Amino acid sequence: MSSTSGRVVIGMDPHKRSATVEVMSANETILGGCRFGTDRDGYAALLRYGRQWPDRVWAIEGCAGIGKHLANRLLADGEQVVDVPPKLSARARVFATGQGRKTDATDAHSVALVGTRMTGLRPVVNDEQLAVLRILVDRRRSLGEDHTRMVSQLHQLLLELIPGGAKKDLSARQAKALLAKVRPRDAAGRTRRRVAAELISDLERIYARKKAANKELTELVAATGTGLLDLNGIGPSGAARLLVEVGDITRFPTKAHFASWNGTAPIDASSGDQVRHRLSRAGNRQINRVLHIMARVQIRNPSQGRDYYERKKADGKAPMEAMRCVKRRLSDIVYHQMLNDALAQTGTGPGGHRGTSTDSSVTGSHPHAGSSDKSLPGPATDDHTPTHSPFFTPSTPRPLSSADPQPTSSALCLTPARTGAS
C-alpha cells in the first residue's frame, strides 16, 4: 500500500501474543488493517506496516494494562502513542456495529474511531522514573497481599493448636513465642506445628522485604519532589501509587474532575422532586483504596479529619456515609497537593495556565464532572477561619505559586504532623 498524505490514526487491539490494527484517516476512511504477532518478527512487521504513513499516531487500548508492552516498544522506537480507555472503545463499538459484537477486527475499528474523533486522549510518555516506581509499588503491594494471606493461614493453624487462637494483630515474634509452648502429640498436631513454623519463617522474610521496599520507595518518591509524604495518612506506597496512576495532575481541570475519576464523588440519583446521591463504584479503584487507607488512618488517630468525621455522624450520617465524606475531602487535598507540586515544577496550571479547562469526556482521561461530581459542602461552611485545612495539623504553610487557583479553606496545603500509612 502506498503512503497517503495527511494524519492517520492506527487503532490497535492488543493481546499478549497478537495485535490487530486498523488505519483510519481524519475523515474516517479505512486505509488498511492487519493482524500481527508480538514476537520479534511480528513486531518488526507491524512497525514497517505503520511507517507507510509518515504522519501517524498509534491509538492503543489499555496502555496501562494489556497494551503496555506494545506501547513501550513503540515509544522506544520514537513513535507517538495515545491511550484509549476501554470504556470509550466499548461504547464506540456498540454504536459502530449496532449490536456490540466483539472481535479483534471490530475492537481495532472502535479504537481507531475513538482515536480519530476524540480530543484530549492522554499521550503515553516514556517516563523511566514513574516506570521504576510502578514496578516497585506493584511489588510492594504483592508483598502486602502475601503477608495478609500468610497471617490468615497462621491464625487458622494456631486456632487448631491453641484454645481460642491468637490475638488479631499478631507479629512473627509473638507467633513464635506462642508456638514454642505448643507440644502436640498426635501426627496431625505435629504437622500443624511444623507448617505454622514455616509460615512464621516466611513472615519474617516478608517483613524484611517490606521494610526494604518501603525504604526504597520513600527515597524514590522523595526524589520526585512531591509533598505527598507530608500528608497525614499517606505512606511511601500510597504516594508512589498516586504518582504512577495519576501521572500529570494538570489533565484534571478541577478537583471535582479528579474526584469523579477516582470514584470519591457521589453519583446523582435524583428523580422528580426527590434529590439524592448514591455511592460511585466506578473510577480508579487503586487510588480509591489509597484514599480509603488515608481516611482510616485519620479517623483512627486524633486529627482534624477525625473531628470532621464525628461532625458528619452528629449531623445524622451513618458511619460509612461519614467515611465517604472524609474520602471526598481527602481527594480535594491530594489534588491540591499534587497540583502545587506540578506548579512548582512547571509554573502552569490545568490546561496550561490558570483557569483553563480542557475539553473531555466522562470516560476519558479528562472527565467532565456531572452535577453530582461537584465539590460538596463541607467544613468550609462550618469554619470561617480560612487558615487551616480540616485534615491537617496546622504549621507553617508552604507558599503557593502565583499561577495556583486559590484554594478554599478545605484544601489549603499545610504541612501536617504525619501519621504514616502504606
Long-range contacts of 206-215 (CB under 8 A, 24+ apart): 206/143, 206/146, 206/147, 206/150, 207/147, 207/172, 209/143, 210/140, 210/143, 210/144, 210/147, 213/136, 213/139, 213/140, 213/143, 213/237, 214/140, 214/422
Phi and psi (nearest 5°) for 181? -90, -5
- The answer to whether 202 touches 149, Cβ cutoff 8 Å, is no
Model pLDDT for residues 102-119, shown as the tens digit of each residue: 888 889 999 999 999 888
Q: How far is CA 347 from the centre of its chain?
A: 25
- The answer to whether 263 touches 288, Cβ cutoff 8 Å, is yes
The answer on 359 and 312 residing in a single domain is yes
Identify whether 402 is part of a domain.
no
Identify whether 2 is part of a domain.
no
Identify whether 255 is part of a domain.
yes
What's the pLDDT score for residue 281? 80
Last residue of a domain, one of 117, 148, 166: 117
Identify whether 342 is part of a domain.
yes
Distances (CA, A) of 256 to 101, 215, 266, 338, 353: 35, 33, 11, 14, 18
What's the pLDDT score for residue 193? 93
- The answer to whether 247 touches 130, Cβ cutoff 8 Å, is yes
Identify whether 399 is part of a domain.
no
Q: What is the pTM of this model?
A: 0.70
- The answer to whether 15 touches 31, Cβ cutoff 8 Å, is no
What's the pLDDT score for residue 404? 41
Tell me the CATH number at 39: 3.30.420.10
The amino acid at residue 48 is R
Residue owning grid cell 476524540: 118
Identify whether 422 is part of a domain.
no
What is the rounded distance in angstroms from the CA atom of residue 51 to the CA atom of residue 3?
9
Distances (CA, A) of 295 to 136, 288, 321, 414: 24, 10, 12, 17
Residue owning grid cell 453519583: 267
What's the pLDDT score for residue 100? 59
Residues of the chain with pLDDT under 70: 1-5, 97-100, 347-422
Number of domains in the chain: 3
What is the rounded distance in angstroms from the CA atom of residue 121 to the CA atom of residue 60?
11
The answer on 336 and 247 residing in a single domain is yes
The answer on 377 and 243 residing in a single domain is yes
For helices 104-117 and 86-97, what crossing angle results, to 10°?
110
- What is the Rg, in whole angstroms, of the alpha carbon atoms belonging to the chain? 25
Q: Residue-wise over 120-131: b if at least 16 C-beta within 10 A, else e?
A: ebbebeeeeebe
Identify whether 419 is part of a domain.
no
Identify whether 330 is part of a domain.
yes
Phi and psi (nearest 5°) for 18? -150, 160
The answer on 246 and 376 residing in a single domain is yes
The answer on 324 and 274 residing in a single domain is yes
Model pLDDT for residues 117-142, shown as the tens digit of each residue: 888 788 888 778 888 999 999 999 99
- The answer to whether 287 touches 262, Cβ cutoff 8 Å, is yes
The answer on 240 and 186 residing in a single domain is no
What is the rounded distance in angstroms from the CA atom of residue 112 to the CA atom of residue 374?
32
The answer on 145 and 90 residing in a single domain is no
What is the rounded distance in angstroms from the CA atom of residue 105 to the CA atom of residue 94?
14
Last residue of a domain, one of 193, 223, 253: 223
What's the pLDDT score for residue 347? 58
Q: Which of 114, 10, 108 is nearest to 55 (CA)?
A: 10
Alpha-helix residue ranges (DSSP H) falling in 224-254: 236-246
The answer on 354 and 267 residing in a single domain is yes
The answer on 76 and 42 residing in a single domain is yes
The answer on 362 and 259 residing in a single domain is yes
Last residue of a domain, one of 117, 143, 175: 117
What's the pLDDT score for residue 242? 94
Residue 347: give the domain boundaries: 228-382
The answer on 343 and 215 residing in a single domain is no
The answer on 297 and 267 residing in a single domain is yes
